[in-house]
Structure 1
Amino acid sequence: MGSRYGGLKQLDEVGPGGETVLYDAALAGFGKVVFVIRPDIADAFEASIGARARRHMEVDYAFQRLDALPDEYAPPEGRMKPWGTGHAVLCAREQVNTPFAVINADDFYGRDCFMRLASFLRSTSAGSYAMAGYRLENTLSEGGAVSRGVCSVAHGRLQTVREHTGIARSPFGLIEGNDGTHTVSLAPDTVVSMNAWGFPAEVFSDLARGFSDFLAKPEGDPLKREYYLPYFVDQQIAEKRASVSVLETDAKWFGVTYREDRDGVSAALRGLHEESVYPPLA
């Protein structure tokens, strides 16, 4: 449920032709999708999204359950919140046995993102990851402030990802955000992560180890703390367990963080139809 959006935005059709991001993924060469969802929305999701996705590729499901934990752990009493994006990917380990990409189900990444990820994954190996890197100015919301993973990149390799919150244009046109300590100015071409990643199948063993380490450290609110995928990647880099290629793209990212974003995204997708990026509307 999207609390800022005010509904289950993954099932809210935005594109004028009823298209999904999987159209671009299929054109890039991806042949299978695994949706990681809550069990209680499975039927609605299949009717709205899954059935359409089957026109383009094989479809499978993995369920992110609160009790999907190592044997020695149990969910804290009163916890309702999922365990985060790192845990979500881990929940799909039984459905995935080849190199794969990870995206948010409610974001529009642009075809170039999928093309770059697919090309990388055709020749990746254990310990070799990829991240689609977007220009910050191409990821802002007109509806309000956003959070972004601000990246440090050297020689095409990701060094760190640091979450910045409250990112928005100031009244003077500058882009500002909070780095966790104070307000900072951010350049328009700052590379940010939009959670579009490429991994080898071997990543699951490291992800399981990292999640167990996370559970063993009782830091933060036990009812709310989450194991984020960027945190896992950051740890892998710091421990020299992985190298992450940054696949920079000039693609425009669209998302519906706020309901006010919906009309703008819908208009942008209609424009892509008119430019013949997508099949013309009937």
Structure 2
Amino acid sequence: MAFRDLLLHIDTYPTPTPEAVIEEAVLLAASLGDKVTGLAFEIEIAVHSNRLADYLIGLSAMAAAEESRSSQACQDVLGHFIGRARDAGVYKDAISAKANHYDVAGKVARVARTYDLCLLPLVDGPNGQLDIAQSVIFESGRPILTFRPGTAAALTQGPKEVVVAWDGSRNAARALADALPILVRAKHVRILTVLNEKPGVLSTTGAQAQRHLAAHGVNTTLDEVDAGGEAIGPAFDRYLDGTAPNLLVMGAYGHSRTQEFLLGGATQHMLARPGCPVLLSH
């Protein structure tokens, strides 16, 4: 069991994904699956006709220069990806397309629908990867694996210690199933249940997840954390600081308000500051 068909999104604008991060992502893809496709967009900037703005500040010329910068960055990042992926023996394809800056997130989600897993580095800066991550999670129907640069090194050597956040919900069940190709290869899996944070989560909640993973030959330990009525994010942080896993698997929570997804507390917290790679499913 393995991820045969991975997708890696690479930023081009306003700051291209650094080469070192692309290399880390390729190594991660090589450790998790068979082949990986790189995806990057050339940004198009719509400029409404404004003679005064063109006269005063050259608005159209500025937009054209930014589009050209993004186009060159697209060629550069995909070229670097192709070289590294071929060296690692996992190259499948490289996709470039054009998109309005505000449409990139939705287009990444649509492409991701026909891949086993989408890899998304979260690089600090104004690139908007959080918007892309949210879009892929809630619109693609496929899992996403996200990481901060430098945090995936242990996972590139193969999954050793993996934590599954489990509350018995549908989203947690989806994440458990989507992560199974990783879980069956892990040396050890911890099933984490956070108590006193939401109704219906009991000390026995993790037993069925443990039973299911045992049927797949996965060695597990049941762990419980008492949130004590505080927000779930700090409870996660304390637990993860103590266990230092290679990967966290969790269901993504959110609800739609006027076609905009609002993230649940745990999802928002782990996307904003993941100390280790996180596999999310919805």
TM-score (norm 1): 0.28
Structure with max Cα Rg: 2
Task: Give the structure, 1 or 2, with the largest relative contact order (CA under 8 Å, sep 6 or more).
Answer: 1
Structure with the larger helix share:
2
